Amino acid sequence: MPPLLSLQRDLCFVEVIEGETDDLQRQNSDSSLLDRLGRCGVLLQSIEINAAGCFVVVNCADIERLKDVVRSYNVAIRVRDRCGRIRLRRGGRWAFLPSLASVLAALHHESIRIVHFLADAAEVVILVDARQVASAMAIMGSFSKTNAQCSA
């Protein structure tokens, strides 16, 4: 079964920027912020917390509520609005994904600016500016077709 391709539009990528704090203090702050966002009805499409910070993806319709919540914290945010998320998932147990190097090279060749890139053994997920979604979808779709031919 070939990899499965999906698209989600009208998303915002938000980087939460905190000052110098120790890891436990930052984890507590991130936890509190995420709790408040949930209680205020902000639906998180995805979240990533690592040593570099806290990154969330929300629907563009929720961005003003997110900004209202963030104002009560001692953090700054960087927002990339009008993004599309393209997901290429393994289509079955024996399906395989393209190499990450080939995905990045193909996107670079077409001058696609990646807002966020995440991959694991089961899927490759990219966030791109809405103006580049069609081109990025065509590239990711070509991997789906190529892999379908290879696995047949």
Q: Check residue 95 and give its pLDDT.
A: 73
List helix spans (H) across 10-116: 23-39, 63-70, 100-109
**Yes or no: is domain 4-9+83-151 CATH 2.40.50.180?**
no
Nearest to 102 by CA among 146, 149, 69: 146
Q: Check residue 146 and give its pLDDT.
A: 57
At residue 147 the predicted structure's pLDDT band, cuts being 50, 70 and 90, is: low
Element (H, E) at 10: strand 4-17
- From the options 1.10.3720.10, 3.30.365.10, 3.40.50.920, 3.30.2130.10, give the CATH code of 10-82: 3.30.2130.10
Average pLDDT in the 20-46 region? 89
At residue 24 the predicted structure's pLDDT band, cuts being 50, 70 and 90, is: confident
Q: Check residue 150 and give its pLDDT.
A: 43
Residue 149 has pLDDT above 60, yes or no: no
pTM: 0.86
pLDDT in tens, 64-107: 999 999 998 888 999 999 999 999 998 877 678 899 999 999 99
Residue type at 53 in one-letter notation: G
Domain range annotation of the chain: 4-9+83-151, 10-82
**What is the distance of C-alpha 2 from the center of its chain?**
22
Residue type at 69 in one-letter notation: V
Through-space distance between the first and last CA atoms of the chain, rounded to whole angstroms? 8
Contact 116, 127 (CB under 8 A): yes
Residue type at 116 in one-letter notation: H
Contacts of 71 (CB under 8 A, 6+ apart): none
CA angle 149, 86, 110 (to 5 degrees): 75
CA angle 65, 67, 73 (to 5 degrees): 120
